[in-house]
Amino acid sequence: MKIFIVFMMLTFSFSIFAIVQGYKWSVKSNIKTPESAYYAVDYNLVFVSSIDGEGSKKDGKGHISILSSAGKILNENWITGLNAPKGMRSLNGKLWVSDIDELVEIDMNKGKVLKKYPIKGAKFLNDIAISASGEVYVSDTITSKIYLLKNDKISSFVEGPELESPNGLLILDNYLYVAAWGLTTD
């Protein structure tokens, strides 16, 4: 996997706005501290991670909501008991969620957490990207690392100050694009 780092200014919004399959909609209530919205094409659903508290606090208040592609809340508390869930991606019926220092694997059909992968030394897991072969990459913004889950094992994929606090991840044409804050973690 080749790495390409993109530095960008990131902004936050605490309402959800989306254009999915020609629909324009927004959700402004009933979603508590949304961090990420992910449209799962195979399911025609939008998954929303809600921190519902502080972004780095292990308080068990975080959850995942499901919305229709038209913006209707279908299940506000589909998965509960998370801490501060952030980035999400799916592949083969599994939703992967970053949660402070764990990577969470969820069965999308059963709505059940299958496994949590603790990541030693992680402090602020943020976004996720998944390769076509099923390798899961997760960024840690605080430690300037990107971890890799391959064959049920977590390893450090790349790390260092040159990542400048990686946030967003995207795999496109065998490149891993990294949106970074542009801050060093020295």
Q: Does residue 185 sit within a domain?
A: no
Domain with 134, as residue range(s), is 2-180
Length, in residues, of the chain = 186
Phi, psi values for residue 119, rounded to 5°: -120, 105
pLDDT digits (tens, 9 = 90+) for 3-12: 555 544 444 4
pLDDT digits (tens, 9 = 90+) for 70-128: 889 999 999 999 999 999 999 999 999 999 999 999 999 999 999 999 999 999 999 99
Q: Are 54 and 84 in contact (CB under 8 A)?
A: yes
pLDDT digits (tens, 9 = 90+) for 118-155: 999 999 999 999 999 999 999 999 999 999 999 999 99
In the numeric block, the tokens 């967003």 are attached to 168
pLDDT recorded at residue 97: 98
pLDDT recorded at residue 23: 56
The one-letter amino acid code at 168 reads G
In the numeric block, the tokens 């076509």 are attached to 132
Q: Does residue 186 sit within a domain?
A: no
pLDDT recorded at residue 89: 97
Give me the number of domains the chain comprises: 1
Identify the CATH number of the domain in which residue 26 sits: 2.130.10.10
Q: Are 125 and 119 in contact (CB under 8 A)?
A: yes
pLDDT recorded at residue 178: 87
